Chains A and B, each alone.
Chain A
């Protein structure tokens, strides 16, 4: 009997060992990362989020970096091919070697691309940034990209370099839209990153459906049918009667609501708060989905979502900024609506923005001059930026250039000859990013995930909300309900 108990306890320890196995590996990693950070960050800090966007300190002079020697490898961290294609197509002197390597002069460019879903990109970036101090010069991150949803996480840290440290003076950047700089301004007034694009969103509508249901595909007439949420819902009922879905998924309208909130996702004392406008999105979407006016409860980027890119999908509208139209809506595929120029653009019920990519220089980079040059060429150089607009239908971060193009005879092929730039330019001026928090990506993703159960009828609103709180406090242990 004694022997058996001994054997049993040994077996349990073995079994527990296998259980602990995956955990143990991570424990090892934790001790190394802890020692890698500077001493100050070891303690609990409960620094409050700045509730107001900090002011940019315009007195900071650009540093002279002409004497610094350039490293031989430029490591770039990003989450998709967009920036790479911008660099390949528009940055003079960049030559592609293979899918993950390129060359700028003598410098080897190494791409590290991790998809951003479920914070995978951020986690990968964080791991590497935390080891930045001890990494060899050629392994250090030189340049990385961030999105508005989590930009704050990096702006107020020492892991990003102020652009003035790269030799870029603030006077060079006067043509950029102000909001793109507000987001990247740290609490001590330093500008930490630059963007080549502006991301005001519009309502992108299917011209064929508009003609069939509204009777016209002119932006002004369509706008009258979607001018506020009540009219929008009335139009949705008409669309349903004519065999069209208003949107492909419940999540399409999400950004228009989440960008017009009165409180950020996370309060200064790190409590998660649900804004009334977010709740309104839930109620409106549930009502419209139950009425059969929305095609699916699936996530964005899924099959149901992209089915509306083709005429058979029978989807009336999408909500998105310029990059969505160019980069995501299958414009290169034969038979897609975008390919046939079958989309139109109008302001929609409410203004919003979505995404936006900022270029940051990582602290510790040995390629300051190259990073600065990439920033200058893509975010300041007017000729290159106009090229981006013309070639890629993107909306660039250059106010005079965009206003010039808005007034010109530029037309967008996917929009069937419409010039949407005036609409974007007007939208870009109104973007305010003062209600963002560093945790927005997780909050947005988890909220949409949790509400799917509510829309599907698997849970009532409170159950779904509890699931959201559970998921978000697991994902960000610093937050509380």
Chain B
């Protein structure tokens, strides 16, 4: 009897400690989430100083998004720019993490380099974007240098070409996030039992074999985590392309992301369309996350957690 009571009281503390999170979650996330879904079924916007609605319109906002809007194009833009940034990012991060965690390399100043590669993440994305905008403008230093060296004859307008704008966005995202990913992967690699590496060494495995056959499979949960968070972050890509293209997504909307489109709707206080777009984003995020989970295989080979 006594024993049971103490268990109950422990449980009580568990719930009490959960309260702050639960309250914050409900007030700042769950209620807005439900509100957003509700908004998506209403016509509600401003025409000048007149507020139109909210009037119930059913799925009209969704139909309008797909029939008139360029939502598929914006989704494509977002994914292209995310993939262009993510692939180099994960490769560089894996390489760095492998080097940092390999004791046989005896890298010097590890702490210094770990700090340095993380630094770009500390700069505000908008400031970073502004910096690139200036660097790559037609009268900016990059064009100056390329012309002085003789690679270019006349200034190349990086902001007027689809490829260069997307590449710049991808480059910035990659630069900003590879440090973060490196630290995450590094933590994962450090957690691997060194006995495994020693065993492999005794068996005569090469460094390559160790990496592909031991490190990567064990790292899989961390890799999936990195992939999912990066994917969700990528879908929410906003500040970098917004600032780089001055909110226009130019040239020809080829750098307009879904969130930039959402921002445009909310800028004109169109809560209905904004809500509908948010709900669609919610589903895209959900579906993509499920796909990633499925592909990564959920039958745990390495230890049951």
Contact = CB atoms under 8 A, between A and B. Distances in A.
A30 to B, nearest CB: 6
Interface stretch (B100-108, B167-175, B211-219, B271-279): B271-279
Interface in B125-169: 139, 160-162
B229 to A, nearest CB: 9
A20 B49 CA distance: 26
A23 B275 contact: yes
Interface in B260-295: 261-262, 264-271, 273-275, 278, 281-282, 285-286, 289-290, 293
12 contacts: A15-B232, A17-B28, A20-B36, A27-B39, A44-B53, A123-B267, A159-B49, A449-B250, A467-B253, A470-B68, A470-B70, A477-B46
B49 A458 contact: no
A60 interface: no
Given A8-B289, A16-B33, A20-B278, A438 B236 contact: no
B238 to A, nearest CB: 9
Contact of B251 (A30, A154, A157, A458): A458
A37 interface: yes
A255 interface: no
A23 to B, nearest CB: 5
B123 interface: no
A50 interface: no
Nearest to B232: A15
Given A27-B36, A476-B268, A34 B252 contact: no
B236 to A, nearest CB: 7
Interface string B80-103: 000000000000000000000000
A34 B68 CA distance: 28
Shortest 5 CB-CB distances between A and B: which pairs?
A24-B32, A17-B29, A478-B47, A477-B45, A458-B251
A18 B229 CA distance: 12
Interface string A130-158: 10000000000000000000000110010
Nearest to A36: B51
A8 B53 contact: no
A283 interface: no
Interface string A1-37: 1001000100111111111111111110010011001
Interface in B46-70: 46-55, 68-70
B6 interface: no
Interface centre among A18, A20, A30, A478 (most CB of B within 10 A): A20
Interface centre among B33, B162, B298 (most CB of A within 10 A): B33
A41 B50 contact: yes
Given A15-B232, A123-B267, A456-B160, A44 B55 contact: yes
Given A11-B289, A452-B250, A475 B33 contact: no
B51 A17 contact: no
Contact of B33 (A4, A8, A24, A118): A24
Contact of A453 (B251, B264, B278, B290): B251
Interface residues of A, number: 58
Contacts of B251: 453, 456, 458-459
Interface in A73-126: 118-119, 123, 126
B19 interface: no
B262 A477 contact: no
Nearest to B43: A44
Interface of A: 1, 4, 8, 11-27, 30, 33-34, 37, 41-42, 44-45, 118-119, 123, 126, 129-130, 153-154, 157, 159, 303, 438, 449, 452-453, 456, 458-459, 463-464, 467, 470-471, 473-478, 481
Given A126-B46, A458-B160, A474-B265, A467 B252 contact: yes
B220 interface: no
* Interface SS, A side: helix
Nearest to A466: B70
Contact of A16 (B50, B282, B298): B282
Given A16-B285, A44-B52, A118 B247 contact: yes
Contacts of B47: 45, 476-478
Contact of B51 (A20, A34, A473): A34
Contacts of A126: 46, 49
Interface of B: 25, 28-33, 35-36, 39, 43-55, 68-70, 139, 160-162, 228, 232, 236, 247-248, 250-253, 261-262, 264-271, 273-275, 278, 281-282, 285-286, 289-290, 293, 298
A43 to B, nearest CB: 8
Given A14-B29, A44-B52, A471-B264, 13 more contacts: A4-B298, A8-B293, A11-B228, A19-B285, A20-B32, A26-B271, A27-B32, A44-B53, A463-B252, A474-B270, A475-B264, A475-B268, A478-B52
Contacts of B48: 153, 157, 438
Contacts of B261: 474
B268 A474 contact: yes
Contacts of B266: 22-23, 26
Given A44-B52, A475-B268, A459 B29 contact: no
B285 A474 contact: no
B270 A477 contact: yes
A43 B147 CA distance: 60
Nearest to A474: B264
A175 B36 CA distance: 54
Contacts of A41: 50-51
Interface centre among B49, B50, B70, B278 (most CB of A within 10 A): B49
B274 A453 contact: no
Contacts of B161: 458
Interface centre among B29, B262, B274, B293 (most CB of A within 10 A): B29
B167 to A, nearest CB: 16
Given A453-B250, A467-B252, A21 B28 contact: yes
Nearest to B54: A34
Contacts of B53: 44
B273 A477 contact: yes
Contact of A153 (B49, B139, B264, B269): B49
B254 to A, nearest CB: 8
B298 A23 contact: no
A145 B142 CA distance: 42
B50 A45 contact: yes
A123 B266 CA distance: 11
Nearest to B39: A27
Contacts of B54: 34
Contacts of A453: 250-252
Interface centre among A4, A12, A33 (most CB of B within 10 A): A12
A438 to B, nearest CB: 6
Contacts of A19: 236, 278, 281-282, 285
Nearest to A456: B160
Contacts of A481: 68
B49 A129 contact: yes
A23 B263 CA distance: 9
B52 A473 contact: no
Contacts of B267: 118-119, 123, 475
B289 A12 contact: yes
A474 B256 CA distance: 14
